[in-house]
Amino acid sequence: MQFELISFKLCPFVQRAVIVLRHKNIEFAITHIDLANPPDWFKEISPLGKVPILKVDGEVLFESAVINEFLDEVTPGSMLAEEPFDRARQRAWTELASTLNENVYHLTGAKDFAEYNKQVNEIQNKLESLAKIIDDKKWFNGESLSLTDCAFAPFFMRAKILTEFSVDLTGQNPKLQNWVDNLLGLDAVKSSVVPEFKDLFINMGKKRSKYLADQIS
C-alpha cells in the first residue's frame, strides 16, 4: 500500500498520525496545506474540511483515531490492548487527549486572562485525572508504547514550549513526569513536526491571542 498524509504543519491530530507512521517505520509521503486557504482538491476529499487525511492507494480515510487504528491493523505489532475492556479504555483516554488539544487551541486564542485561566484550569483538572492512572508509568499501558501514548504526545510537546514562556499547563505533576519525558524523548515524536514548528506555534499564539502575546513578548 502507498500512503500519503495530508497535513497542516501545526495540527496536533496530524502529528498523532505521523508519530504512528514513524514508530512503525511505515513509508509515506506528506503534503502540507494551508487550512485557512485550502486547495479545491482538498475540499473535495475531506468531508469535514479537516486534517489529517490519509490517502491509501488513492482512497481516503479521515479522523486521526481511525487513521491510527487502521495503520496499526495493517502493520505488525499491535499498539492496542488485547482485551476488549482495555482497548475501550485506551480509546476513552485518547478522546480525553483530543479535548486537551482543543483546550490548547482555545488558550492560544484567549483574548483576556479570564478566558486564558479557564483553559488552564480545565487542562490541569484533566491532567489530575490522568495522573491517577499513569502514576509514574513508562507508558500508558505500562509495558509498551500504545496509540493512546501517541495521542497525548502532541499536547505535551506544546505544553513544554509554553512552559518556556512561563505558561505552566501541567503543574509539573510528578506522577506524569516520567511518562512525559519518555514520550518527548522518542525519535518518532521528535521527528513528527517540521523543523520550524516551535516558531510557527509561538507566532500563531501571538497572532491569535492578545493576552498570550503580552506574556510571551
Residue 158's pLDDT is 96
Query: Would you write out the chain's pLDDT as a tens digit for each of its 217 residues?
Result: 999 999 999 999 999 999 999 999 999 999 999 999 999 999 999 999 999 999 999 999 999 999 999 999 999 999 999 999 999 999 999 999 999 999 999 999 999 999 999 999 999 999 999 999 998 889 998 889 999 999 999 999 999 998 877 777 876 688 898 999 999 999 999 999 999 999 999 999 999 988 888 877 6
Would you call 5 helix, strand, or coil by DSSP?
A: strand
Q: Are 165 and 31 in contact (CB under 8 A)?
A: no
Residues recorded for the chain: 217
Residue 217's pLDDT is 64
Residue 114's pLDDT is 94
Residue 136's pLDDT is 82
DSSP letters, 80-141, are S-SSHHHHHHHHHHHHHHHHHHHHHHHHTT-SSHHHHHHHHHHHHHHHHHHHHHHTT-SSTT
Distance CA 160, CA 88 (A): 29
Residue 143's pLDDT is 82
Domain residues of the chain, as ranges?
3-73, 84-216
CATH class of 3-73: alpha beta
Domains 3-73 and 84-216 share a fold: no
Residue 213's pLDDT is 85
What is the dotted CATH code of the domain comprising 84-216?
A: 1.20.1050.10
HSE at residue 169, side-chain half, CA atoms within 13 A, is 27
Q: Can you give the pTM of this predicted structure? A: 0.95
Residue 74's pLDDT is 97
